[in-house]
Chains A and B, each alone.
Chain A
Amino acid sequence: MALLEIRNLSVEFATRTGTFRAVDGIDLTVDAGDVVGLVGESGSGKSVTSLALMGLIGRNGRITADRMDFDGRDMRTLSPRERRRLTGKDVAMVFQEPMSSLNPCFTIGFQIIESLRAHERLDRRAARRRAVELLEQVGIPAAESRMSAYPHQLSGGMNQRVMIAMAISCNPRLLIADEPTTALDVTIQKQILDLLVDLQRQRGMALVLITHDMGVVAETAHRVVVMYAGQVVETRAVDELFVHPRHRYTGALLDALPERALGRRRLPTIPGMVPGISDRPQGCLFNPRCAFVQEKCRRETVPLIADETGIARCFFPIESEGGPSA
């Protein structure tokens, strides 16, 4: 049984101009010990998906799903109280901006102890001991003395380590990391990603890594889910996806990477931009930007179509490696 099983999840927000579907019927399955990369450009709905999983969507948002099971329990029917017991304990999250996710008014020690006391019912002394251990585990030097430091006294990378320490403090079974390294330098990014992967392996946690950086996904994830305009457009094992993407959007996105254009001066681009709140097209959501668009793509909604190695939401997928053919 999968640890997390999501079917047809949608998140809608009420706006002045009508309802906006930020996440549009996505399916997501995460097994224990799996590392799933969720990639997409801004506006693709990847962060909203993670917030929905954590139960952090505000009041103006409406979540619907056919199925939303975590470890066999239906998350849709949990009472708020049960939900809170789950969130932060079995399902934990690391956010993008460590500086703004930590409370500037409290020491990092206090903030780690807070979740330990709430979820694990440890006494003060035991919680403190555990917090120091956690800080050591995430590679913070002089952990004991850092307990009384405030977030502004630490660097971005150190703060992100603190966030990770908090997230793993109650031994979560699923860790969602939303752009955990976007605000960090490459050398620190590498350290943090290595740390996340080490922790994931040691503890057998499942990790959902949300990012816009194709390189990060390629080096970290086992399986990749590509999102576009609120939909899943392709799901595949990592090696397969980067060697032979099937969806035209995935292909175009990879081609736009400078590392793929070595020796060429011009980068292949995708014209236009991700459709926003009011300009979602008919048919395939990518059709206005697709170089291989056919009449059918403009007319008909595309289902997710299974192939030998995964699924892609494309009527005319990229056939073979190398030459894209329409």
Chain B
Amino acid sequence: MIASKAPATAVDGPVIEAVNLKQHFVLRRGPFLPPQVVRAVDGVSFRLPRAQTLAVVGESGCGKSTLARMITMIDPPTSGDLLLQGRPVSEIAPRIRRQTVQMIFQNPFGSLNPRKRVGQILEEPLIVNGEGDREQRREKALLMMSKVGLRPDQYDRYPHMFSGGQRQRIAIARSLMLNPRVVIADEPVSALDVSIQAQVLNLLMDLQDEFGVAYLFISHDLSVVRHIARDVIVMYLGRAVEHGPRDLLFQEPRHPYTRALLAATPMVAPHLRRADRVPMGELPSPLNPPSGCPYHKRCPYTTTLCTTDLPVLRPVAGRLVACHHADELDPMAPVPVS
């Protein structure tokens, strides 16, 4: 087996530290119109320690996938600092960077090359990075297959011969081939059935224990997030609106949007359902965000302050909340019916 060399200098600090990350896309609408700016992600900061899971939740269009693309440097951020193991990404050679940060995609039917066999899919990251000879690569691929619950005789099979859950196992194995420090998992279980979803979540947790890998877990499914994450960031229109330890957010959500998301998540057990009202309307267009608090048009607590002033993320009751009224809201009280 290949000696697992640490891709970058190992330090005890967070494996990823993001400070005020922004991703602004400039849209040119025509030769005579001024270009428009889409603030897809507008100032997100977090620290992700080793072997921990940080979940990012929010509706589609909130910027969670853009965040993932920035951290993998598929789309470098417009501004802000991104540190990998304490060093700015710009100072780290791309090869090392890619070994440190790997990604699992949502749809295992689209993320695996249908013309390649499982073995080739798993060995490709090693070939690209010039690791080991043929025999060592094969050995490592077989080892990783056994770790994710695939049989050695499946080494020569093609992706179409596997079910969705098994394909996601292949994708997970591939993401771990280079011993990354961080794996970005973008909705890794949302395409899977409940029983298969449980298997894959267990596998992700087992692999985290074994390899000490940190997960940035992107999901819209709050019950999955509640199970796997230690910290949670709730995003809305490119901004973090609540950020803190999982249990605090789930048990005493402070931001009205977090409460709305929890209320909207269907629960089997009646005692887990929250009585809050669901937000009205839909996510506003990021091209034309509302003034003041981005959530004010859908929020049941909106005051005039919310329509004019953008709330900043500030510490409230053990977590960070971007809401003018976070202190006044009783976290457990039902929403007033207007």
Which residues on A are within 8 Å of B, measured CB to CB? 41-42, 155, 157-158, 185-191, 193-194, 212-216, 218-220, 242, 252-254, 256-262, 265-271, 273-274
Hey, what's the 0/1 contact readout for B220-248 against A, CB within 8 Å counting as 1?
A: 10111011000000000000000000000
In the complex, A185 Cα to B279 Cα: how many Å? 12
Q: Are A259 and B278 interface neighbours, CB within 8 A? A: no
Q: Are B227 and A258 interface neighbours, CB within 8 A? A: yes
In the complex, A188 Cα to B59 Cα: how many Å? 9
Hey, what's the 0/1 contact readout for B155-167 against A, CB within 8 Å counting as 1?
A: 0000000011100
In the complex, A193 Cα to B273 Cα: how many Å? 15
Q: Are B264 and A253 interface neighbours, CB within 8 A? A: no
Q: Are A212 and B265 interface neighbours, CB within 8 A? A: no
Q: Are A187 and B194 interface neighbours, CB within 8 A? A: no
Which residues does chain B contribute within 8 Å of A219, judged by CB atoms?
A: 266-267, 273
In the complex, A220 Cα to B205 Cα: how many Å? 32
Which residue of A has the minimal Cβ distance to B273? A219
Q: Is B89 an interface residue (CB 8 A)?
A: no
Which residues on B are within 8 Å of A, measured CB to CB? 59-60, 163-165, 193-199, 201-202, 205, 220, 222-224, 226-227, 260-261, 263-269, 272-273, 278-279, 282-283
Q: Are A213 and B227 interface neighbours, CB within 8 A? A: no
A-B contact pairs, 17 of them (CB 8 A): A41-B195, A42-B164, A185-B60, A185-B220, A186-B222, A187-B279, A187-B282, A190-B264, A190-B266, A193-B266, A214-B194, A215-B266, A261-B227, A266-B202, A267-B227, A268-B198, A269-B195
Number of A-B contacts (CB under 8 A): 108
In terms of DSSP, what is the predominant structure of the interface of chain B?
helix
Which residues does chain B contribute within 8 Å of A220, judged by CB atoms?
A: 266
Q: Are B268 and A242 interface neighbours, CB within 8 A? A: yes
Which residues does chain B contribute within 8 Å of A185, judged by CB atoms?
A: 59-60, 220, 283
Which residues does chain B contribute within 8 Å of A212, judged by CB atoms?
A: 193-194
Q: Are B59 and A186 interface neighbours, CB within 8 A? A: yes
Q: Contacts A185-B59, A216-B266 given: A256-B205 contact, CB under 8 Å?
A: no
Which residues does chain A contribute within 8 Å of B205, judged by CB atoms?
A: 265-266
Q: Are A155 and B227 interface neighbours, CB within 8 A? A: no
Q: Are A269 and B202 interface neighbours, CB within 8 A? A: yes
Q: Are B195 and A242 interface neighbours, CB within 8 A? A: no
Interface hub of A155, A268, A269 (most chain B Cβ within 10 A): A269
Q: Are B266 and A41 interface neighbours, CB within 8 A? A: no
The 8 Å CB contact of A157, one of B197, B227, B282, is: B282
Which residue of B has the minimal Cβ distance to A193? B266
Q: Are B223 and A258 interface neighbours, CB within 8 A? A: yes
In the complex, A216 Cα to B164 Cα: how many Å? 23
**Chain B min CB distance to A276 (Å):** 8
Which residues does chain B contribute within 8 Å of A186, judged by CB atoms?
A: 59, 220, 222, 261, 264-266
The 8 Å CB contact of B269, one of A158, A216, A259, is: A259
Q: Are B196 and A259 interface neighbours, CB within 8 A? A: no
Which residues does chain A contribute within 8 Å of B265, judged by CB atoms?
A: 186, 215
Which residues does chain A contribute within 8 Å of B226, judged by CB atoms?
A: 258-259, 262
In the complex, A219 Cα to B263 Cα: how many Å? 12
Interface hub of A220, A258, A268 (most chain B Cβ within 10 A): A258
Q: Are A260 and B264 interface neighbours, CB within 8 A? A: no
Q: Are B261 and A187 interface neighbours, CB within 8 A? A: yes
In the complex, A193 Cα to B194 Cα: how many Å? 20
**Chain B min CB distance to A314 (Å):** 17
**Chain A min CB distance to B247 (Å):** 10
Q: Are A253 and B194 interface neighbours, CB within 8 A? A: yes
